[in-house]
A and B are shown apart, each in its own frame.
Chain A
Amino acid sequence: MKNEIEWIALQLDGEPAGPSRDRSPAGPAQAADRTGTADAPDAARGTLSFDELYTGHAAKVLGLLLRLGVSQADVQDVAQEVFISIHAKLPGFEWRSTPSTWIHGFCVRKASDYRRKLARRRETPMAGLPDAADGGEPERHLVARQQMSLLQQALASLPEKQMQVFVLYEVEQLPMPEVAAILGCPLFTGYTWHSKAMHKIESFFAKHQRPKGRP
């Protein structure tokens, strides 16, 4: 009977039933499975709703878009585009990556589209600043704002992929295999882009920090 059920499962899903089934590779998102960063247990697979995704990730999406260079003025619109895309694609989501990795991919692409549109309009993105509620005295807050502004300028000067790797790895602190999965690049390429981004950002800081530095 077990064989029969497996056979039926094979007919329905094209893969054997059972907990040890090995999903066939299907694109870069597969790498995320190997990272072991699944943010949903197997038991919950197949039952994730848009409502749950929105509730669990709305704030993270807003933050990630801001870190990827979307301005405070536009972040809500871009986030809306992200979630509309997620809503449209969710029925086809096959758990080949974690929902988190999947959503990061939408954010990266939409932020990339945004950058391109902005470039066509020849506008300068003005990413937001941390809320005053983040704590700390005003002067320290001001210094943090200046340093973050400098980093944002440095990021804006980078080639897109290098900027994305830097944000995902250094700021979001995702493991590099997951970063590579999100960007759809080989792992080694991810390391290369990160290395180049680091070099350029450190140079940018070395060049701009000293003149603006306080005595």
Chain B
Amino acid sequence: MKSAREPVRITDARSSASPELSAAVHALRALHGSPEQLDALGRSLAPQLAAPTFAGSLTSGLRAGSKWLLAGLAAVIVGVGTTALLERAQAPASAVAAPQPVARSSLKSREPSPPYARARATDKPIVESEPAAAVPAARPRRSRDADRRLPPPTPAQVLVPRPELALLEEAHRLLKHDPAAALLLVEEHERVYPGGVFTQERELLAIEALLGLDRKQPAIERAQRFVQGYAESPHAPRVRALLRRSRPLGAAASEAPR
């Protein structure tokens, strides 16, 4: 939108500025960094470029509304959630199994250096394939646009497990516009991290994805299991609310225990 009051620019033919001033502005417009400076800048930013970070990947998408979900995730980001993680890892034995050591060790190679550990929390989901996989050669690193157009990877493609948080973060991002893809990611999380730290968040996302797909019955069943298994969870009120809204009015009386 261009305002009608926009002053005539010096470089505009209608401008009354002197030719010298106009030439000076043209010269300044031509000023740019050298290729060497650009290369050096790229080298100096190698740690940041190696630790993928995404716009709105966490603090916008999650902070915006799902404050309880964020609370769990943000605790990890700022590094104060260590205790909480330990507690969560020891949560109800019936619902939480031991994390898979293979998944953890395979992620180790992607760990950034300590000063950039914060960006690690927003790591891009890994969809690389092992050389032995049936999937053809690895894609060029920069083809992010093409990546976005790809459907969520099938389980067979995901030989390198994505970081737990990245999986759920991506699922949350997709929730509104593509609940089916979000549900796939949630299922992937369930398979790769059956006893993960974010089990409760996963369940919440699963319920919402199912509702988004209009699969009310599985959503209700899952929500009932949640409120029974995690009655004291900070997510429980929200799940109960979802449950209430999902049920037919007549069934509301037989709500799960609070």
Identify the A interface with B (CB < 8 A). Answer: 1, 4-5, 7-15, 17, 34-36, 44-55, 58-59, 62-63, 65-67, 72, 75-76, 79-80, 83-84, 87-88, 90-95, 99, 127-131, 134, 143-145, 147-148, 150-152, 167, 169-171, 173, 175-177, 187, 191, 194-195, 198, 201-202, 205-206, 209, 213
Q: Are A175 and B1 in contact (CB under 8 A)?
A: yes
Known: A10-B65, A12-B176, A59-B38. A127 touches B9 (CB 8 A): no
Q: Are B27 and A209 in contact (CB under 8 A)?
A: no
Whole-angstrom CA separation of A134 from B25 in the bound complex: 15
Chain B residue at smallest Cβ distance from A102: B55
Whole-angstrom CA separation of A194 from B6 in the bound complex: 10
Known: A46-B61, A176-B7; 15 extra A-B contacts, CB below 8 A, are A5-B212, A9-B176, A12-B65, A12-B66, A35-B1, A46-B55, A49-B52, A51-B49, A51-B142, A72-B37, A87-B48, A87-B51, A130-B31, A148-B28, A173-B9
Q: Are A147 and B44 in contact (CB under 8 A)?
A: no
Q: Does B211 contact A (CB under 8 A)?
A: yes
Whole-angstrom CA separation of A62 from B40 in the bound complex: 12
* B15-23, B129-137, B195-203 - interface stretch: B15-23
Chain A residue at smallest Cβ distance from B37: A76
Q: Are B38 and A62 in contact (CB under 8 A)?
A: yes
With most chain A CB atoms within 10 A of its CB, the pick from B6, B9, B10 is: B10
Q: Chain A binding site: helix, strand, loop or mixed by DSSP? A: helix
Whole-angstrom CA separation of A128 from B211 in the bound complex: 59
Whole-angstrom CA separation of A176 from B175 in the bound complex: 37
Q: Are A93 and B28 in contact (CB under 8 A)?
A: no
With most chain A CB atoms within 10 A of its CB, the pick from B10, B20, B60, B173 is: B20
Whole-angstrom CA separation of A145 from B51 in the bound complex: 40
B119: chain A residues within 8 A (beta carbon):
87
B212: chain A residues within 8 A (beta carbon):
5, 8
Interchain Cβ contacts under 8 Å between A and B, 21 examples: A1-B214, A9-B176, A45-B55, A45-B56, A46-B60, A47-B54, A47-B148, A47-B173, A49-B53, A66-B32, A87-B48, A87-B119, A147-B20, A147-B23, A148-B24, A150-B20, A170-B9, A173-B9, A177-B3, A205-B20, A205-B21
Shortest CB distance B141–A (Å)? 8
Q: Are A7 and B245 in contact (CB under 8 A)?
A: yes
Q: Are A202 and B18 in contact (CB under 8 A)?
A: yes
Total A-B contacts with CB atoms under 8 angstroms apart: 224
Q: Are A66 and B33 in contact (CB under 8 A)?
A: yes
Of A4, A52, A129, A187, which contacts B3 at CB under 8 A? Answer: A187
B48-86: which have CB < 8 Å to A? Answer: 48-49, 51-61, 63-66
Shortest CB distance B125–A (Å)? 11
Chain A residue at smallest Cβ distance from B122: A91
Chain A residue at smallest Cβ distance from B64: A13
Q: Does B103 contact A (CB under 8 A)?
A: no
Whole-angstrom CA separation of A45 from B45 in the bound complex: 24
Q: Are B55 and A75 in contact (CB under 8 A)?
A: no
Of B2, B32, B124, which contacts A175 at CB under 8 A? Answer: B2
Known: A9-B176, A170-B11. A80 touches B45 (CB 8 A): yes
Q: Are B66 and A11 in contact (CB under 8 A)?
A: yes
Q: Are A91 and B32 in contact (CB under 8 A)?
A: no
3 nearest CB pairs, A to B: A62-B33, A148-B27, A151-B24
Q: Are B211 and A4 in contact (CB under 8 A)?
A: yes
Known: A51-B52, A80-B44. A175 touches B6 (CB 8 A): yes
Q: Does B29 contact A (CB under 8 A)?
A: yes
